[in-house]
Structure 1
């Protein structure tokens, strides 16, 4: 599986010198330093910097911009001219093995840095060896001008709050080597705690350092700055908010743009918001004269009047206005926004690449067990999904700065940057660059395959996914082969812990699913054995899950890797030991969560055992076992299950509408306790009861997009009663009609009760078909349906 270093292709630059005729420090910036340091880290070779152009036979890495090539021999200039022309931030990389020369020609300062990044990504560096092939020759320019990521130093992130200045410097550098040119920081006050026990510096000092680092690399600095105040009209409140921003803006050596979300958090009516933004812009430009303010139509409960006012302001031509941001909780598809704003106004994507559900781009049809264990913010390499999402929407914007909450989405960041540079780049090419640079050239192909396998682990049913044990074997083989330095590499460990966690979770699911079935089988014998003995026997079977656990070795490995990741990069994978915030990457806390309906069954057992009459106990057990039974000739569907999804009327294909703004998606959450936000999915909360596991997953649509569910094989001669389970994250007011206009129920407030029953008019099903249509009132967050029983009367 491993390549032989002695057989590697290309010329060896171990004795090369770096020469650059560029003397302007604003162009050279830290580029030469980056080249020297990154080569030395991997090869232990310290390339020297020549003060004059080396002689013809001396291996040389030549760095220059296009306007300083006169000193080059005519044949070299001819070879460079033969390459395609480059544009802003582009570069040419010319490798001439016979000449023992490498030429990196940038269009500008950034082009020079990105050219060095290309050399480092394509080279093979080992101790004492620095190889580059002539095949690496390329001329390329970025497709989109905005290419970056949010690096928020705040407690809510799963690792950034533990970063040191040096770690931020290296992370920004790593991303820049793949073409990133923008980094978004956050102010000290957001919808978060002010401090974290992990922080190395106070927030105001760290964001100053983040800004300085970007300035030194010649990169753009953005700031996500939500409106957290309670009043933006009263002069005293406005003055307080401006004073806070004055401190922040004055602290930053560089700030190019401020992104103010329309909501989540900080909901303001557009007229109030834009009057406030004008004041904020005037202050901003006192300290950063060229900075602009960007705004998103991001609001949880939008109305048409809100949008009308928002886009009127957007198109008003304010001199301080930079553009529109399309991100999470923007109701309108970006294609529609592009039509609503003036053509001269740019749109920036703000893609959520960090979350797995309750997010802008959730994992499609994710298995319920993953939502319970891996959770919303686990380590989530999704290279193929990210490329598809990017390429489905990229043409409607000027690039992107991703929404990230930490290191869990590390692979996704590099994929997204490479797609912003060139959407035609194959994912495997980016992953090979990532592996070659960060893991090592001798493990490139097996590492790439192992990373892609992690994405395959999340496809389809967890119970039957045969990729998961194979993925673990791939990672274990790598673990045995790589040297200790790679074993301790956080980027290697992030993939490794996922492989072990996935395999352990699947084995537990198989085991606990069988235990539940055995327990249910024992309960079916209750009339023969007696209700209480049957319940005790069922409990004993279910308790094996923790009294006789399966594969404790896999579990122990996950905890060991979690400890190591905390020590190296501050990854907080548990609350108690690593100081994570709940629901923010602490997926190891969920490693023992029951994967069957044991909590609900034990809750039901306790209720049965309180009954004093044996007949009543047996009746309750039968009701429990037949909870989903629709009776003879009836229909039962759980719309979180793949086998029922065929009844859900589709919208646009996921490949065209990955944010499901125009069609249904899978949702997660019980939502029966009056709390909208779901940090961790637990089947609890309805009037003190434990709820069935299936109530945690449902079909849903966003905002007022109709949710349609069709039945086509009903008995035309029968009448039906409809029972519905309404659970989910949102507490929405929903109305149910049918495709012929009949009203099954008018608007009701969901979230108070889980189960509702309604008569279905006989005329609705007279042709054996019916489509049920759910809609929300204006300003609601979406419709959601978990279970349907159609009971034949």
Structure 2
């Protein structure tokens, strides 16, 4: 008997293994080339729409025959007959329940809005909903269970799922963001595309959407889903009477003071008109702040002023819409405001109110710029599961049992937001309180310092692990969530939230795997799941591992690219979502390469100046710097790839990364280097030596000296008072010049405190002479904030002795200032350097000062300090 050649044998084994692997993927799956969707004889309008939806979604990926009717036909071959609907409307469904002794659908099994998806035999599938929405969710689960091939679908031969949502309220907002339209330059969605977004989230489990009256309201209701309306209790941008103006927390216009009788009467009249014209919303939300509210003394505590006004409005609304449930949010309220509402609710039954809403700025145990002014420090004594859940638990404890807690979580921004990157450490609140050390992990999560220069707050991103943690910490205290979404860039986050509201016990790995299979198909799913987890890691600033050293950026690119190759044509041809993930991959890799190149040029320049500090060497350094922003062939290819993908995703679904249009940046402070080199060329003697030493050995204070790099996450061991600067508003590129080195852009600050940023030095040489060098810069403010920002200067004191009196800080671009320390001040081996705010800063009435603080006011500000031993 002849034996096969070894090479041929190996090839055959490899082929057998591959075929076995492919076959194994389909083991337990039945193939069908035809689907009959059978409705009940008494099927309602929602059941019929759901059946058509099922047909349309199947045909998007498989060219098979799909029929919808109220009587089964004689399907040929491997036809799958789906008995879809509510059993009471569907005699054929009832017959199958009886024949197979299937337990009926009840309020406990599966529960409200639940369904049963059960395969009876090779060709029969039950998709029974306990109600109209249950039918819709049964279709959603069926679509997730299917495997699509061009001319067939595959379904598990054994399938039995009886399930219902865990939370009563499961919703979100929808639509394109202004950032997508203005910065990413996308086309407008069609009406059909907007409807598709709504149905995508509904198929994932959503049951309510924030919507205005109009076509989308009617569309949402046509599928048996719920709607939410909203009203700002003191919102009146049309007001022209200055005596009515509110003192909003950051000074925004367009709000009236409810304590002005005429203004209150106007708002009630305005609301009556709204109530008359409004549709029958299932829920109506009154938001208290962000923006809105009034900080004036007449309204204090504003929580009580607000809730009394909302009660009057609720009574008006219930005249026209008695079934609508009312809730409010306590956004940006302080402790006294919340306590006033607790007292009001406990005073007597408030039957008009359904729930307390919890949104951005509602949390009294976390610090976010521009939000809460006071915090519940008493709740930190025993942290339990951590800071996120402490205040929801307290609300449910203090609030009467008749009321519910409903969430309005913000999962749409990747930075400067409720559960996003805070961007910088928290500043002290009005009482001077800061979070305890054990709660600092949520503030130490920071965005990658280079990626944040390119991407807007509303950029495309996915955060599985962080948001799974937030969900787990928060949602156990409420009845559900209607998340805040400002566009379609948060696609994964919103989809995951709906799935967790259905099944909060699902692991983050399971949710990501399901998402990847649902949106990219089973072949690409494992790689896309891995890529999504990697993306979350890439976005975060990792101490000791700057962007050029993050291997995950390239691996994310490779994972998404490989997943795209694995997707069959029926998945890839119109997959706008994969193109968004791939755009992100190409752009992140481009940024990484550009930062690497700029950093390499900086290193080469430093080495050149170190070896050749003459004017000739400095001139060569300037020529070298001119190459820092040149694109390599790889970078050019990545940019072209991102452009192509963006044009495709825009054409397919009106979506694209805005980052493509914002790639030109001075990531590392090249402009500072350029200025320093030119200064060194013009200088002589000791001044020249100092300028060159800052180029070649920037942080080194010399023997016996000290260096403090102030700002979040930096080493500032000698700082004893002050906190990292948070800019007081969403970080804007214009606030500080990118020409500053990263260490110059970050800083410590104080607000209206009498003590400014303070450094204390010990163990100094009592016989030595010292001097200090400081880096100072002040930010530019948007017009709406600039009117109250009079701070431009500060004084510097050494052991109480003035070194600089009202020294003006440079605007946007930093500079150095050096001062000699009198020898007598260091004779005891210690020294205190304190910065002091100008006398005219943070003065005025309480409201004025609070608005100044809330919109980013600073009293003292400093980026770096060198204590240099002469």
Q: Same fold (TM over 0.5)?
A: yes
Deviations 1:540-572 (A, max 9, x none): 222212345462111121222223333333336
Determine the structure 2 residue equivalent to 1:426: 507
For the Cα contact (< 8 Å) 2:609–2:621, is it kept in 1? Answer: yes
2 CA distance for matches of 1:163 and 1:243?
35
User: How is 1:156-305 mapped onto 2 (pairs within 5 angstroms)?
Assistant: 162-185=188-211, 208-226=214-232, 227-229=234-236, 230-233=255-258, 237=263, 241=267, 253-268=279-294, 269-299=302-332, 303-305=334-336
Q: SS at 2:639's partner residue? A: helix
TM-score (norm. length: structure 2): 0.71
- 2:77 equivalent to 1:60: no
- 2:403 equivalent to 1:342: no
Deviation of 1:254 (Å): 4.3
Deviation of 1:494 (Å): 0.8
Q: 2:130 aligns with which of 86, 92, 107?
A: 107
Q: 2:579 aligns with which of 481, 490, 493?
A: 493
Deviations 1:606-649 (A, max 9, x none): 6666x575654444443565553344345445466757499999
Q: 1:95 aligns with which of 115, 119, 124?
A: 119
1 CA distance for matches of 2:575 and 2:717?
44
Deviation of 1:332 (Å): 0.8
1 CA distance for matches of 2:230 and 2:809?
36
2 CA distance for matches of 1:648 and 1:67?
72
2 CA distance for matches of 1:80 and 1:476?
47
Deviations 1:686-744 (A, max 9, x none): xxx9533234456899999x999999x975988999979797899899xxxxxxxx999
For the Cα contact (< 8 Å) 1:257–1:292, is it kept in 2? Answer: yes
Q: SS at 1:130's partner residue? A: strand
1 CA distance for matches of 2:818 and 2:41?
77
Q: 2:30 aligns with which of 11, 15, 22?
A: 11
Q: 1:545 aligns with which of 616, 628, 632?
A: 628
Structure having the higher Rg: 2
User: How is 1:589-608 mapped onto 2 (pairs within 5 angstroms)?
Assistant: 589-605=661-677
Determine the structure 2 residue equivalent to 1:202: none
Inter-CA distance 304–548: structure 2 relative to 1 (3 Å threshold): closer
2 CA distance for matches of 1:113 and 1:681?
45
1 CA distance for matches of 2:273 and 2:646?
37
Determine the structure 2 residue equivalent to 1:474: 559
Q: SS at 1:403's partner residue? A: coil
Deviates more, 1:331-340 or 1:377-386: 331-340
- 2:674 equivalent to 1:588: no
Deviation of 1:406 (Å): 1.0
- 2:732 equivalent to 1:680: yes
Deviation of 1:60 (Å): 2.1
2 CA distance for matches of 1:290 and 1:53?
40
Q: 1:44 aligns with which of 63, 77, 82?
A: 63
2 CA distance for matches of 1:702 and 1:21?
68
2 CA distance for matches of 1:763 and 1:422?
67
Query: Number of paired residues?
Result: 716
TM-score (norm. length: structure 1): 0.77
2 CA distance for matches of 1:247 and 1:83?
39
For the Cα contact (< 8 Å) 2:411–2:420, is it kept in 1? Answer: no
Deviation of 1:386 (Å): 1.7
Deviation of 1:174 (Å): 0.6
Deviation of 1:325 (Å): 2.2
Deviates more, 1:534-543 or 1:140-149: 534-543
Deviations 1:480-514 (A, max 9, x none): 44456615421111111011111111111111111
Deviations 1:358-402 (A, max 9, x none): 111224232211211234222101122221221122112222122
Q: 2:414 aligns with which of 356, 362, 366?
A: 356
Determine the structure 2 residue equivalent to 1:201: none
Inter-CA distance 385–648: structure 2 relative to 1 (3 Å threshold): farther
Inter-CA distance 217–440: structure 2 relative to 1 (3 Å threshold): same
For the Cα contact (< 8 Å) 2:580–2:656, is it kept in 1? Answer: no
2 CA distance for matches of 1:707 and 1:415?
45
Deviation of 1:102 (Å): 1.4
Deviations 1:251-285 (A, max 9, x none): 65442223232222112333443343234334433
Q: SS at 1:139's partner residue? A: strand
Determine the structure 2 residue equivalent to 1:330: 362
2 CA distance for matches of 1:100 and 1:493?
36
Inter-CA distance 608–788: structure 2 relative to 1 (3 Å threshold): closer
1 CA distance for matches of 2:485 and 2:160?
33
For the Cα contact (< 8 Å) 1:4–1:442, is it kept in 2? Answer: no
For the Cα contact (< 8 Å) 2:38–2:83, is it kept in 1? Answer: yes
Q: SS at 1:407's partner residue? A: coil
For the Cα contact (< 8 Å) 1:18–1:49, is it kept in 2? Answer: yes
2 CA distance for matches of 1:164 and 1:751?
53
Q: Alignment RMSD, CA only?
A: 4.8
- 2:586 equivalent to 1:567: no
Deviation of 1:224 (Å): 4.2
Task: Give unpaired runs (5+ residues) of structure 1.
Answer: 188-206, 574-585, 650-663, 734-741, 769-775
For the Cα contact (< 8 Å) 1:683–1:691, is it kept in 2? Answer: no
Inter-CA distance 247–567: structure 2 relative to 1 (3 Å threshold): farther
Inter-CA distance 450–120: structure 2 relative to 1 (3 Å threshold): same
Deviation of 1:467 (Å): 1.6
Q: SS at 1:78's partner residue? A: coil
User: How is 1:282-681 mapped onto 2 (pairs within 5 angstroms)?
Assistant: 282-299=315-332, 303-313=334-344, 315=346, 317-333=349-365, 334-363=392-421, 364-459=445-540, 460=542, 461=545, 462-482=547-567, 486-525=572-611, 527=613, 529-530=614-615, 533-547=616-630, 549=632, 551-571=635-655, 573=657, 586-605=658-677, 616-623=687-694, 627-638=698-709, 644=715, 671=727, 676-681=728-733
1 CA distance for matches of 2:339 and 2:790?
23
Q: SS at 1:47's partner residue? A: strand
Determine the structure 2 residue equivalent to 1:130: 153
2 CA distance for matches of 1:281 and 1:241?
13
Inter-CA distance 286–213: structure 2 relative to 1 (3 Å threshold): farther
For the Cα contact (< 8 Å) 2:46–2:222, is it kept in 1? Answer: no
For the Cα contact (< 8 Å) 1:183–1:222, is it kept in 2? Answer: yes
Deviation of 1:750 (Å): 13
Inter-CA distance 631–120: structure 2 relative to 1 (3 Å threshold): same
Deviates more, 1:150-159 or 1:363-372: 150-159
For the Cα contact (< 8 Å) 1:270–1:310, is it kept in 2? Answer: yes
2 CA distance for matches of 1:612 and 1:288?
78
Deviation of 1:418 (Å): 1.0
Deviations 1:272-329 (A, max 9, x none): 4334323433443344332233222212xx5443333344445564433232222222
For the Cα contact (< 8 Å) 1:91–1:104, is it kept in 2? Answer: yes
Deviation of 1:58 (Å): 7.2
User: How is 1:732-747 mapped onto 2 (pairs within 5 angstroms)?
Assistant: none
Q: SS at 2:629's partner residue? A: helix
Determine the structure 2 residue equivalent to 1:693: 742
